[in-house]
Amino acid sequence: MIYVSARWRATLAGRRVLITGAARGIGAALAARLHERGARTALAGLEPDLLAAVAAGCGDAPWWTCDVTDRDRVRTVVDEAARALGGLDVVIANAGVAAQMPIVGGDPAVLEQSLRVNVLGAHNTLSAAGPHISHRRGYALTIASLAAAVHLPLLGAYSASKAAAEALGDTLRIELRPWGAKAGVAYFAELDTDMTSRGFGTEAAAALTQGARGAALVSRVAPLKAGIDALERGIAHRSRRIVAPWWVAGALPARAAIQPVVDRLVQPKLRGALEIAREEQAALTTPQADRAL
């Protein structure tokens, strides 16, 4: 086991990595871990003070403020990151948002922004970085979610956007193959980040999970370290699929069987939760540049 861990670290040393959504959560923790393993990181995100602090902890890594929904800005940042690092080996399309949204009676602006950030933002990042990573050491990783495969009430906007992001990552893997580059998709259940705490910190979510038989399934949160460990391994090996916690690996191929179980488990509290959600003004989990809901 010690030998395997050392091999991960050796294969990450010297990798030139661009991470979006790097100001907090998964992005910030992953940047710190990769820097610790000897990778050279470049960071992009929306919150300059947080980004500067993350960059300082990563050996004064280069960083840029970047709204991933702005295609021109993304292309500029990707090109500048490649120049700063002397090329790119890895791009991680991590920037993402979430907010609860009942499909009937919910705010369609939540869906619109989720698609802009989680789908178009991922596309902008992958498209701009594609020419830089199209080599035999290249790797592109799209951060999706277990929500791409197993769907929960109130999360229709998030699930739809992450399913689309999954499709982009899978398609890119095929299209990069002629150049020897690889691409992967990461699927996480709920990890202990501020995004998760904000997403589940609503009155509707509390009403849905409190005392319900499926509460553990709906709101179960794993340590962030589980996700970062999985990402470290997956990036080192340019993996096609990265999962955390471990049981997500079994849930993905069983999605068709799991969905009816989820549907039944959430029913007892669902009507009341939906009524609350239609009145509740739940903000996006990450503040957006001039587009906060």
| CA separation for the pair 119, 231 (Å, rounded) | 20
Edge-to-edge order in the sheet of strand 139-143:
63-65, 40-45, 16-19, 90-93, 139-143, 182-188, 241-244
| CA separation for the pair 256, 13 (Å, rounded) | 40
Residues 6+ apart with CB under 8 A from 169: 93, 122, 126, 140, 141, 142, 144, 183, 184, 185
133-155 per-residue burial string, b: 16 or more CB within 10 A, e: under 16: bbeebbbbbbbbbbbbbbbbbbb
Cα dihedral 203, 208, 211, 216 sign? negative
Q: Is 3 noted as a catalytic residue in this protein? A: no
Residue type, 275: E
- Find the catalytic residue in 3, 139, 158, 187: 158
Classify 28 as helix, strand or coil: helix
Catalytic residue numbers, as ranges = 158
